[in-house]
A and B are shown apart, each in its own frame.
Chain A
Amino acid sequence: MSSGSLPLAGALAVAWGAVYLVTQVVTEPALGVGTTVLAGVGLTLLLTLAYPSALRGPRSTRSGQRPPGRRGVASRSRHTIAAVGRPMPLRSGLTAEAAMRTARLLRPLLGCDAVAITDREGVLAFVGPGSDHHNVGDPPQPRTSARVLAGAGTLVVRSRRTLGCAAPGCPLRTAVVAPLAIGKRIIGTLTVYRVDDNPPSRDVVEGMAGILSLHLELAELDRERKLAVDAKLGALRAQINPHFLFNTLNTIASKARTDPEEARQLLLRLSDFFRYAVRQDGHFAEFGQEYFFVRTYLSLEQARYGDRLRVRYDVDPRVLTAHVPVLAIQPLVENAVKHGLANKVEGGTVTLKARVDPLTRTTSIRVSDDGVGMPPDLLKKITSEAVSTPEGIGLRNVSERLDTLFGERYHFDIRSKEGEGTSVDLRIPLG
């Protein structure tokens, strides 16, 4: 039974005991069997449904932590500055669609007549009077947006002539143009227009442009993080130890004379190993596929180490279709072989244990060995993010990818005792 189900089983036993006591012992006369069973089943359902929520803990109280505001402001919450932070479309980057949605959001928020957002190439969105001739795709206005893009800072335009619109019937009179920047790099502008002679508040527009810039910066960070994860996966693929290849080829060469059939099988397995490592595109794969990769790797290592390397798989049938991060288990197994058992004369056993807990919706994977283990200082060094050791490269790569893929929703734990072995536990959300 998985560890997550054990407390639930206990709770259910206690609940049924309580139902029996209340309906059969305490109550006089005792209630009927049907009522007792009904109460028991109801309680069982309640506990079973509530259990995963109880394990996840209380819901985030973010909405309750909002700073108290005046009633009037709260009632207009759709049009407050804070509203910009919630569904900000620019969080996905400066695209035409995101810019249009942002402009529509900002127009009532800023109490202005028209809003335009441009990138370095041209107008991405224009909302308000004048949209009949201020078209999406037009180049930035040379007197306003182009100057801001060139680094002139925020511009306040107080006359229609300076605005630079050639259309004779353009109703727009004044405007404030503020830069949208990622760091020091200006990537666009936010222009807020009015149809009267009072230009919008420069501070408000600058502040709003600052918020938008922050969102754009976050979008850029997201993009960079995704690229970093891709790069880490690529690094892991490329990191297949050349020594592993040399050793396996040497093993195959030595078997070619004495046992050609086994040599052929090893070659096929080696090709399977590299085919899988190279062909994984996404970030997740079925556990069954990762299991295939791991057992391919271990069978090649077993050919080299012989009876010194023993393997034990303990796999729950339900885990086979669960999705796990691609190339995440093999590095753990490789570490167990290379650093746990290779230096132990009598060899040892590598155990891969995989379970699914449907109640907590988690997949648990444990890779353990009964090898030489690690002294506490080395374990500390390996688990420390700041220090790079040859033993820790694979682990850190896996750990960093898990960080990016799951945030804080995973558990990665390494335990080791010198002379007794090492155990790596990985618990991830069931996918």
Chain B
Amino acid sequence: MRWRAARRSRSIRDGVIPAGYDSLDEYDTAAEVDAAFRTLRRGALGYFAVFLVAVGGVPGLTLTLNWWSEGQLIGGMSPSFVMAAFGFYIFFWLLGLAAASLSTAVEARMLGGQETDPAEREGGA
């Protein structure tokens, strides 16, 4: 069977890496890496949909709701201006954070082994 290394954050320790492997630390099968990729892609598509709705919502509101362009919030700024000047940055930051957290969680659960005591793994009790 062919084993492929998952490109994980762990550094490769000293040692000779056999041809075809990326790391000596841990190996995942092609199907496992493929599954993790598909799950990550599914999550990314979900976040992209949210991104599209938010970005598309601004011109949508401009076209349908007068208050969105003409109303005045803090300092006389319209809601549309506030959204473009500050809201988007906060939204993108939160979205990016959520997407990164999800990706890390998915990778941790779908690739590599479970956390075990190294001594035990090497033959201890």
Contacts and interface: CB of A to CB of B under 8 A. Distances in A.
Interface of A: 33-34, 37, 261-262, 265, 268, 271-272, 275-276, 286, 288-289, 291-292, 295, 298-299, 302-303, 306, 310-317, 320-321
The bracket for how many chain B residues form the interface is 20 to 34
Main secondary structure of the interface of A (DSSP, over half): helix
Main secondary structure of the interface of B (DSSP, over half): helix
A155 B21 CA distance: 83
B67 to A, nearest CB: 8
Contacts of A315: 35, 38-39, 110
B113 interface: yes
Task: State the 3 A-B residue pairs at the shortest beta-carbon distance, nearest first.
Answer: A313-B35, A288-B109, A311-B31
A320 B106 contact: yes
B106 A317 contact: yes
Contact of B114 (A34, A292, A312): A292
Given A276-B114, A299-B29, A303-B1, A34 B35 contact: no
B8 to A, nearest CB: 15
A315 B102 CA distance: 14
B43 A317 contact: yes
Interface in B83-125: 102, 105-106, 109-110, 113-114, 116, 121
14 contacts: A262-B3, A265-B3, A268-B113, A272-B113, A276-B114, A288-B109, A289-B114, A302-B29, A313-B31, A313-B35, A314-B35, A317-B42, A317-B105, A321-B109
Contacts of A268: 113, 121
A312 B30 CA distance: 10
Interface string B7-34: 0000000000010010000010101101
Given A268-B121, A317-B39, A302 B1 contact: yes
Contact of B42 (A34, A289, A316): A316
A272 B114 contact: yes
A311 B39 contact: no
Given A271-B121, A306-B1, A320 B105 contact: yes
B110 A291 contact: yes
A317 B102 contact: yes
Nearest to A266: B1
User: Which residue, of A262, A313, A317, has the highest number of chain B Cβ atoms within 10 A?
Assistant: A317
Given A262-B3, A303-B1, A295 B29 contact: yes
A311 B29 CA distance: 10
Given A265-B27, A313-B35, A288 B110 contact: yes
Contacts of B106: 317, 320
B109 A261 contact: no
B54 interface: no
A265 B5 CA distance: 12
Given A276-B114, A289-B114, A313 B109 contact: no
